Structure 1
Amino acid sequence: MSDTPVKVIQKATWVGSIANVALAIVKITVGKLTGSQALVADGVHSFSDLVTDTAILIGSRYWTAPADKGHPYGHGRFETLTNIFIGVLLALVGIGIGWDSVKQIGNEATSPPGMLAFWAAMASILVKEILYRWTVVQAKKINSRSLHANAWHHRSDALSSLPVAIAVIANFIVPDLHYLDQVAALLVTAMILKAAFEILWPAILELTEAESDIDVEGKIQQYAEADTNIKEVHAIRSRRTGSTILLDFHLLVDPEMSVDEAHTISENFKSHILQEIDEVVDVIIHIEPYTCAERVVNPCCEEKGCEEKGCEEKGIEEKDGED
């Protein structure tokens, strides 16, 4: 029996948390011993992951809950809020690291970091890249955007260790490059801020009711064309709530069809959509007759100013021709 979404999220998050604690302690300790400010900054970045892990552990209990009377559309926005929290925290950590690095650049030069800092950075890159790949697999299993965001948090940690390793090697080879370690810390800052933006922006779009980020309209039109009972679909609207998508559109059928037949067609089409598009969890379909007054994709009159009567006659002719 497969694990529930909340169990998958908690398992992946706990594994990441344990790794983050171990890596943070190692990097900060080695950074202090070897005099690598960039490695210390990288360790602080790893510690910040613990806060986001906690947010996911708490938030997942809410956003995985089913819809209820108080939240008829589900609790997906709790996941959105969690993503915003992760993004804001990442941005603050990045700004803090960058500010400290800028202040250190003007200070008196210190001796280059020792090679132990290089091996600590390389260990971090390896562990965090493995965590990233494993967490992405878990996120895809349950289609969790927050878990995917946390996976990218792991990837940003791996990438942020890369300039640290390069700076240590460069400083070891050319000791006169006194401030290369601080420059590496600024590169870490840039990577952290980029990761923060990539997490924050989709969440902001979601809160502002932007259209979902997948080509839902194209897929719906494709499915409709394959169904001979459906004459047209239009006014397709989609919005994201957490990792799920809510969808509504107008569906046109033969005006001579009974209400019961039209309802059956719409229910079958809804089931097909839910089966084909995993992220879609609810579909509202407005059934309309395939008449000139309702047609949008294939209007009866192509020329402006045509009379309604003429449209109706043309619609009848077209219908008779189809029959």
Structure 2
Amino acid sequence: MSKKAVKLIQKVTWVGSIANIALAFIKITIGKLTGSQALIADGVHSFSDLVTDTAILIGSRYWTAPADKEHPYGHGRFETLTNIFIGFILAIVGIGIGWDSLYSISSESHSEPGMLAFSAAVVSVVVKEALYRWTAIQAKTINSRALYANAWHHRSDALSSLPVAIAVIANYFFPTFHYLDQIAALIVTAMILKASFEILWPAILELTEAKADSDIEKQIQAYAAEYKDIKEVHEIRSRRTGSTILLDFHLLVDPEMSVERAHNITENFKIHLLDKLDEVVDIIIHIEPYNCEERMLNPCCDDCGDKKE
């Protein structure tokens, strides 16, 4: 990853951190003043963003480092670990908010948040949605999964403020419905846990060496069909490391072809794939002869007129 990309990650994260501090302070303060359990929970959620922002700032120094002797495939898994950390923090915050909400429902004292709480929630929705869109755009520009995860953390904060605002308005018109604020806090919990799962699951799949992309095999086959000298491509394997993908596969050519020509064809095809497949950063290609022993997609058979090679 270039120095420009690293600086962009740092810049976007610092902007988000400053916004999170301001919003968390505003929401918790107004939540205390108005007695809004949901707004306080939302403020705690904003503070949790600071933890993930810190993880991004620290982690980006490691996952952007070039490959070395100890990490010949690069340091992309540090980005994966950062995503897992973000996911777990979200889950812990969500469970904590849910527990407090359930305890508050069982309490005999109830509050009636006013329009000040509504205003704070609306400001949070606008600011955090704007942060999500900006961060997501920057993440896509430099292809950073961790930065995109942090963008979704912003959106989860924006979404969590919506039920808060709705609960305040509903409480204003229906003051006898004492539990609306607590119910809104539980909805916030569900949203946070959902965001946590959506961040954690891809990272867990990556650590368990799951296939990187379900469509990448079709793409490789399509590109291989453009090369008349490539007879077959099979045993395509892909794995993700952070925001990048590593590939290896077998490539079959005419068994009468010279080693040098087969090598040149393979290198040209590799360069072509690296140019077309954005997330792929390295490819290992095993050259094989296109004969009956190696063919898999179009195997030889004795009764179909296919001459054994």
So what's the TM-score if we normalise by structure 2? 0.97
Quote the Cα distance in structure 2 between the aligned partners of 1:97 and 1:51: 16
Quote the Cα distance in structure 2 between the aligned partners of 1:8 and 1:263: 39
3-state DSSP class of the match of 2:40?
helix
Unaligned runs of 5+ in 2: none
Tell me what 1:319 maps to: none
Summarize the alignment of residues 154-173 of structure 1 with structure 2, pairs less than 5 Å apart: 154-173=154-173
CA shift, 1:109, in A, is 3.6
Q: Does the CA contact (< 8 Å) of 2:83 and 2:146 recur in 1?
A: yes
CA shift, 1:3, in A, is 6.0
Q: Does the CA contact (< 8 Å) of 1:164 and 1:184 recur in 2?
A: yes
**Greater CA deviation, 285-294 or 104-113?**
104-113
The change in CA–CA distance for 1:214 and 1:279 in structure 2 (over 3 A counts) is farther
Tell me what 1:212 maps to: 212
Unaligned runs of 5+ in 1: 317-323
Matched, 1:278 2:307: no
Task: Give 1:174's aligned amino acid.
Answer: F
Quote the Cα distance in structure 2 between the aligned partners of 1:213 and 1:162: 34
Any idea what the Cα deviations from partners look like across 1:240-275, whole Å, max 9, x if unmatched? 000000000000011111000000000000000100
**Greater CA deviation, 26-35 or 208-217?**
208-217
Q: Does the CA contact (< 8 Å) of 1:109 and 1:179 recur in 2?
A: no
Quote the Cα distance in structure 1 between the aligned partners of 2:114 and 2:168: 7
Quote the Cα distance in structure 2 between the aligned partners of 1:315 and 1:217: 28
Tell me what 1:320 maps to: none
Q: Does the CA contact (< 8 Å) of 1:21 and 1:47 recur in 2?
A: yes
Tell me what 2:123 maps to: 123
CA shift, 1:111, in A, is 3.2
Tell me what 1:148 maps to: 148
Tell me what 1:79 maps to: 79
Quote the Cα distance in structure 2 between the aligned partners of 1:207 and 1:280: 17
Count of residues in correspondence between the two structures:
308
Task: Give 1:237's aligned amino acid.
Answer: R
Q: Does the CA contact (< 8 Å) of 2:213 and 2:238 recur in 1?
A: no
Quote the Cα distance in structure 2 between the aligned partners of 1:7 and 1:252: 43
Quote the Cα distance in structure 2 between the aligned partners of 1:74 and 1:218: 26
Q: Does the CA contact (< 8 Å) of 1:60 and 1:79 recur in 2?
A: yes
The change in CA–CA distance for 1:116 and 1:302 in structure 2 (over 3 A counts) is farther
Percent identity between the two aligned chains: 76
Task: Give 2:44's aligned amino acid.
Answer: V
Task: Give the root-mean-square deviation of aligned CA atoms.
Answer: 1.4
Tell me what 2:17 maps to: 17
The runs of at least 4 aligned residues of structure 1 exceeding 4 Å deviation read: none
Quote the Cα distance in structure 1 between the aligned partners of 2:172 and 2:234: 64
Greater radius of gyration (CA): 1
Task: Give 1:65's aligned amino acid.
Answer: A
Matched, 1:137 2:142: no
CA shift, 1:302, in A, is 7.4
Q: Does the CA contact (< 8 Å) of 1:149 and 1:199 recur in 2?
A: yes
CA shift, 1:110, in A, is 2.1
Tell me what 1:97 maps to: 97
3-state DSSP class of the match of 2:7?
helix
The change in CA–CA distance for 1:17 and 1:252 in structure 2 (over 3 A counts) is same
Quote the Cα distance in structure 2 between the aligned partners of 1:3 and 1:208: 30
Quote the Cα distance in structure 2 between the aligned partners of 1:3 and 1:123: 34
Quote the Cα distance in structure 2 between the aligned partners of 1:220 and 1:197: 30
Quote the Cα distance in structure 1 between the aligned partners of 2:213 and 2:257: 35
